[in-house]
Amino acid sequence: MQVADSVKDQLLRHFEEKIDKGDAIEPRDRMPDAYRKHLIRQMSQHAHSEVIGMQPEGNWITRAPSLRARQILLAKIQDEGGHGLYLYSAAETLGISRDEMIKQLHTGKAKYSNIFNYPALTWADIGAIGWLVDGAAIVNQVSLQRTSYGPYSRAMVRICKEESFHQRQGYEIMARMMAGTADQRAMAQDAMNRWWWPSLMMFGPHDSDSPHSGDAFRWKIKRHSNDELRQKFIDKTVQQAEVIGLTIPDQDLKWNEAKRGYDHGTINWEEFYQVIGGNGPCNQQRMDHHKQVHEEGAWVREAAAAYAKKKQEKLLNH
Residue type, 83: H
x-or-dash pattern for ligand FAQ, window 141-180, by CB under 6 A?
----------------------------------------
Figure out which of the listed residues 169, 226, 231, 237 binds ligand FAQ, where binding follows CB under 6 A: 226
Apex CA 134: angle with CA 23 and CA 277, to 5°?
90
User: How many beta carbons lie within 10 A of that of residue 68, not counting itself?
Assistant: 9
Q: Interface mask (CB under 6 A) for ligand FAQ, residues 49-88, using x and -?
A: xx--x--------------------------x--------
- Residue 117 CB, nearest approach to ligand FAQ (Å): 9
Among 25, 31, 44, 46, interactor with ligand FAQ by CB under 6 A: 46
Residue 196: half-sphere exposure toward Cβ, Cα within 13 Å: 21
Closer to ligand FAQ by Cβ: residue 113 or 189 = 113
Taking the C-alpha atoms of residue 153 and residue 157, their distance in angstroms, rounded to an integer, is 7
Q: Give residue number: closest CB to ligand FAQ.
A: 53
> Contact region for ligand FAQ (CB under 6 A) — 3-11, 209-217, 242-250, 306-314?
209-217
Q: Rounded CA gap, 104 and 118, in Å?
A: 22
Write the interaction track for ligand FAQ spanning residues 110-139; mark x where CB under 6 A is met and - where it is not: -x-xx--------------x---xx--x--
Helix (H) or strand (E) holding 70: helix 67-92
Please tell me the count of residues contacting ligand FAQ according to CB under 6 A.
28
**Dihedral over Cα of 60, 66, 70, 73: its sign:** negative
The Cα–Cα gap between 198 and 249 comes to 12
In sequence order, which ranges of 179-282 are alpha helices (DSSP H)? 182-201, 213-218, 226-244, 269-274
Give the containing element (helix H, strand E) for 298: helix 298-317
Residues 237-266 that bind ligand FAQ (CB under 6 A): none
Binding residues for ligand FAQ (CB under 6 A): 41-42, 45-46, 49-50, 53, 80, 111, 113-114, 129, 133-134, 137, 140, 201-205, 210-213, 216, 226, 276
